[in-house]
Amino acid sequence: MARPTDFHPTRAHLVSVAIFAFFILMAIGRDWWLAFLFLIPAIFAYWVLVSRTRVDESGISTRYAFSKGKTMRWEDFTALRFKGATAYAVSKTGETVPLPGVTFNTIPRFSIASGGRIPDVIASTLEDMVARDPLAEEAGTLVDETEQPTTEDKD
């Protein structure tokens, strides 16, 4: 790990901010006393632009938009946990730290950034599937062929 790697919430969220602001503008019409409603998309845009998770040699550090960031050293780190769409770093004491910008799809990048401290479960699953059926990789069809109950016609 030569330099820190940052994980941000996807910037595609800013499209929803623009759409939401447009609908607020349409709803307000001439009643400008409702202009305070523009704070909602502005706050969300601020969260998208400010929140991040940084992975470096010393550990994992987070920056939140509306609360103090947290740092977890690699010596204290035990697991990466997902609850819904939110990723959490779990310490040896059981403390969980939300990781903004880290999703299940960013695990391969997160694994590389952590220097292998966090395994890439996606790649290992694909490797297991190829190990079971090496021809599937050549054909481009990775199919999980675990046994499933079959029904037979008994006439």
> Where residue 9 falls among pLDDT bands split at 50, 70, 90?
very high
> Where residue 28 falls among pLDDT bands split at 50, 70, 90?
confident
Q: Of residues 99 and 143, which shows the higher confidence score?
A: 99
Q: What is the pLDDT of residue 29?
A: 83
Q: Where are the domains of the chain?
A: 5-139
Fold classification of 5-139 is: PH-domain like (2.30.29)
> Where residue 142 falls among pLDDT bands split at 50, 70, 90?
very low
Q: Give the residue from 127, 146, 149 showing the smallest Cα distance to 136.
A: 127
| pLDDT tens per residue, range 67-114 | 999 999 999 999 889 898 889 999 999 999 999 999 888 888 888 888
CA distances from 151 to 126, 143, 145, 147 (A): 29, 21, 17, 13
Q: Would you give the DSSP letter of residue 93?
A: T
Amino acid at the residue 119: P
> Where residue 119 falls among pLDDT bands split at 50, 70, 90?
confident
Q: What is the pLDDT of residue 7?
A: 93
Q: Give the residue from 91, 106, 116 showing the smallest Cα distance to 9.
A: 106
Mean pLDDT of 13-28: 93
What is the rounded distance in angstroms from the CA atom of residue 106 to the CA atom of residue 108? 6
Please provide residue 104's backbone torsions phi and psi, each rounded to the nearest 5 degrees. Answer: -60, -35
Mean pLDDT of the chain: 82
